[in-house]
Amino acid sequence: MSAVVKLSNVHKSFGTNKVLDGVSFEVGRGEVAAVIGQSGSGKSTALRCINALETIDGGTIDVCGHAVHDAKLDRRSLRRDVGIVFQSYNLFPHLTAEQNIMLAPTCVKNKSKAEARDLAHDVLRRVGLAEKADHFPEQLSGGQQQRVAIARSLAMQPKLMLFDEVTSALDPQLTGEVLKVMEDLARGGMTMILVTHEMAFARKVASQVVYMHKGKVWETGPGAMLDKPNTAELADFVGSGL
- Over the chain (242 residues), the average pLDDT of each successive run of 10 is 89 96 96 94 95 96 95 92 89 96 90 94 94 96 93 93 89 88 92 92 92 96 91 89 50
| pTM for the whole structure | 0.92
- Amino acid of residue 121: H
Distance CA 234, CA 153 (A): 32
Determine the 3-state secondary structure of 84 from DSSP.
strand
Q: Is 122:98 a contact under the CB 8 Å cutoff?
A: no
SS3 content of the chain, % helix, strand, coil (to 5): 40, 25, 35
b/e 68-77 (16+ beta carbons within 10 angstroms → b)? bbeeebeeee
- At 87 the pLDDT is 85
User: Can you give the pLDDT at residue 242?
Assistant: 47
pLDDT at 133: 96
Strand 191-195 to 32-36 pairing = parallel
The residues that bridge with 12 in the sheet, in sequence order, are: 20
Please report the domains of the chain, with CATH numbers, ordered by start residue: 3-197+213-239 (3.40.50.300)
pLDDT at residue 240, as a whole number: 67
